[in-house]
Amino acid sequence: MSLSTARSFLSEACYGEQELDANSALMELDKGLRSGKLGEQCEAVVLFPKLFEKYPFPILINSAFLKLADIFRLGNNFLRLCVLKVTQQSEKHLEKILNVDEFVKRVFSVIHSNDPVARAITLRMLGSLASIIPERKNAHHSIRQSLDSHDNVEVEAAIFAAASFSAQSKDFAAGICNKVSEMIQGLDTPVELKLKLIPMLQHMHHDASLASSSRELLQHLVSSYPSTPMVIVTLHTFTQLAASSLIDIPKQLQLLLQYLKDDPRKAVKRLAINDLKLLAKKAPHLWIKENTQTLCECALTSPYNSLKLGMLAVLSTLSGTIAIKQYFNNMTGSSSVPPRLTDLVKLAQECCYHSNLAVAAHGVIVLSNIVISYPEKDTLQLEQDTVLGVESLLMLCSQDNSPSAQATLRTALSSLVKLLKSRPHLSQPAVEFLLGQLHLSCDSSRVLMCHTLAAIATHLPVLGDGMLGDLVDLYSVASHSSTDKQQELLVSLATVIFVASQSSLSAEVKTVIKQQLENIANGWTVYRIARQASRMGCHEFSSELYQSLRTRVASEHFYFWLNSLKEFSQAEQCLTHMEDRDYSGAMSAIAEALRSYQKGIASLTAASTPLSPLTFQCEFIKLRIDTLQALSQLICTCNSLKTSPPPAIATTIALTSGNDLQRCGRISIQMKVCMDEFRSLAARYADLHQSSFDADYATLRNVELQQQSCLLVSHVIEALILDPQAASFQEYGTPGSVQTESEYERRMMSVFNSVLEQHTGCLCDAVISLLKIPLSFQRYFFQKLQSTSIKLALSPSPRTPNEPIPVQNSQQLTLKVEGVVQHGSSPGLFRKIQSVCLNVTSTLQSKTGPDYKIPLDSKTNEIEQRVEPHNDYFSTQFLLNFSILGTHTVTVEASVVDESGIEWKTGPKTTVSVKSLEDPYSQQLRHQIQQGGAQPAPQRGAYNRF
């Protein structure tokens, strides 16, 4: 195996092979490091980050970094530079180095070199390691010494290292602050060097006195050095220091606004605007009315579009926060100025019609955010102004295909969606305007407008059948070529049509869509449209599209996947034709749907692969099948009341058994079984919800609705049928079973029976109502946008997979659990991991000692710990007791807790066998007792010798 083989392993290794081959890859890289050719050594060094990503556990990372430290110590400057780059790329793995002292010792030895470049690289290396060695005094001393060097390369490296250590170490920051101040204020320090030293002061925020002294120095520099580069660097450092220390943000806001208002230099104004935006994101609650008012006045008087755009960007950031409420509350509190007459609203209204599209977009954002945050009764005129501003901007941008116009259009449409969520009464005219504008827009604009229409209609039913004709006409002439934008337009328009048709497509609409798909659509576009049809409940149409796609794929797994989707769509289509109170028809429809579902689940199982196990999809479909079976059983149970009424001796049986429900006959037992089944289904839906950490919000809400429907049915069964008061209706049995003594009693009993029959009819109607709602297959069923997995490593670990770990029963086993959180391309898209919950349990599998009664708590261990991952790595230890001789199975299960405190059962679950052995002294004692009751030999210890 050569270095090229190791490279191919690191780039193409399968998921399950890395445990076996990580050491082999490290050995091959080590061969490359020990090669006599510089090129092979460099190639081996730069492959280490891939090795760390493939196997991110401390034991391998420690060995690899020690090898890199040797190369750094013995190699030339180019190799040292390569090692430095690898260290900086692998910053999150540095804390996994176990032998930190040895690693730093090898690196630090180069600091005594006569070569200033080698010393500079070493200083940068030490700076990159500051997170794991923040208090190393020898490193601190070397940095201080190098700041006085006469070599510019070494001084710049020392500045980098000093900034890194200042950010990590309070002691170093306090010690270096005076030296940095002297160098900055020294007359012999070049201006270029001062510009590099000043940013170091942003890290002097560890305590109030240090931050105060740094701020005083920066204040002195701003007034003493008025040149543009000096003012820009000093002001930005000022802002960073204030943002870190928090206490000086109001003063910094006033300073920045003063420079924005009074300084004539555009570069300084631009820097002030950027820093104001940073503080608007960091601490919007600290913006008082005067700050916002000053910014508005500057924007109103500025003649430069670029500066006005920057100030509006700050205001648009503030308008979505509490700062906008503080502005209007203070304005209305101090005087009776209506919102429309404030400078902020005047500025936004003026900018909505600005010739610069970016300025107009920010004006729309500010206006819409004001309307959203202000009470509805006070903003009626503002609402109209905002809608007019959005519509004018849409008309201007929708026919322009340039990137700037499309970006502005996207901003305006997102503001419109937010506004309509807050003000639903504006939705209908806004949707009609968008539909009218669709015919006049270019294709890229049509795509964005279709997305907006779908987003609005998802929250509000504003797209009706009356608008369907315009959409279909537009679809029939929408595309004339097969470009990517045209394909996207086909999907977007089809989605809006599905929403408008409300899951019932006419034959004419299907014909128009199919004709366009046959003419220019590729297979991927057809699949996306079918997927959208499944999400919107148009299952008949999606079934036809899946059917046409099955033979157009190159993989057997894709064929089975499409075949399963076709069967699921056909199954749901069977349920859409049920009629109210047609119970036999409902039973037939459910039976037909179950046949298709069984075919589909077989295909879905065949479509799964080790890399794509389709766990969520299989479990969701199994739950759907079990739900349909439970609903079918409920209808059968309700019908059984007519075919098998309570017997004449039902009251006697109830009195004998002490169960009042027996008066209703066998239906009470059947209903109890149905109720338990629905509660079990609800619990399984809850488990599916809890295990879907990476699912989007719509998918999770869909699972919740399925769970709630099962809980609803079980509640209705309990309230209508199994409640004791309802059961008391049958106290005297059914008419004919017991002789009635009066006409009144006979009529009352007939009413009681009709009530019970109405209860069962109500249940059947509820079942049909639930089934008539088309099931929505949400995004997570087809597509995973976020991917999160946890990989665990246990130590001690057995030499072979099936070999148990030996431990003496008089001792306790320390189980170390290490784990790595692995992410996909979009980490934290829907939710982020706050902590990892580790649950360790052990159970006794086989007992080898004497057979006597064992307390239950001695058989098992059950411990739970929560750890917070740092740089996607976590580690903790468990102390386990195995006092009972025999083989124990230890199970470690991981689950994650998100930022909201919700626990998700993501797994994985790892097991290891432990064999508890008798300690030698106890074994010797037992043998002596068995051989004749001889006195046990005293146990040797430190005190027995004296």
Burial class (CB in 10 A: 0-12, 13-18, 19+), 898: middle
pTM listed for this prediction: 0.84
**% of the chain exceeding 70 in pLDDT:** 86
401, pLDDT greater than 70: yes
What pLDDT, on a 0 to 100 scale, did the predictor assign at position 161? 96
Burial class (CB in 10 A: 0-12, 13-18, 19+), 874: buried
Confidence of residue 393 (pLDDT cuts 50, 70, 90): very high
The DSSP element (H or E) to which 54 belongs, if any, is helix 48-54
- Average pLDDT for 284-295: 92
What pLDDT, on a 0 to 100 scale, did the predictor assign at position 798? 86
Contacts of 14 (CB under 8 A, 6+ apart): none
The mean pLDDT of the chain is 85
User: Is beta strand 873-881 parallel, antiparallel or unpaired with respect to 903-904?
Assistant: unpaired
Find the angle CA(857)-CA(859)-CA(861) to the nearest 5 degrees: 70
53-65 tens-digit pLDDT? 888 889 899 999 9
What pLDDT, on a 0 to 100 scale, did the predictor assign at position 753? 56
φ and ψ at 893, to 5 degrees?
-120, 135
Ramachandran class of 895: left when φ > 0, alpha when ψ lies in -120 to 50, beta otherwise: beta
Confidence of residue 526 (pLDDT cuts 50, 70, 90): very high
Confidence of residue 240 (pLDDT cuts 50, 70, 90): very high
97-110 tens-digit pLDDT? 999 999 999 999 99
455, pLDDT greater than 80: yes
Find the angle CA(660)-CA(666)-CA(667) to the nearest 5 degrees: 90
Handedness of CA 136, 141, 147, 152 (dihedral sign): negative
User: Is beta strand 833-847 parallel, antiparallel or unpaired with respect to 861-867?
Assistant: antiparallel
860, pLDDT greater than 80: no
CA pair distance 68, 79, nearest whole angstrom: 10
Other CB atoms within 10 A of residue 327 CB = 27
Cα separation values, 936 from 400, 858, 922, 939, 940, Å: 98, 27, 10, 9, 12
CA torsion, points 410, 413, 414, 417, in degrees to nearest 10? Answer: -160
Confidence of residue 729 (pLDDT cuts 50, 70, 90): very low
- Average pLDDT for 79-94: 94
939 or 611, which is more confident: 611
> Which residues are paired to 808 by β-bridges?
917
Structure tokens at 743: 């006409």
Runs of H (alpha helix) within 479-555: 484-501, 507-520, 523-536, 539-549
736, pLDDT greater than 60: no
764-779 tens-digit pLDDT? 888 888 888 888 899 9
Angle, helices 343-352 vs 357-373, to 10°: value is 140
φ and ψ at 842, to 5 degrees?
-130, 140
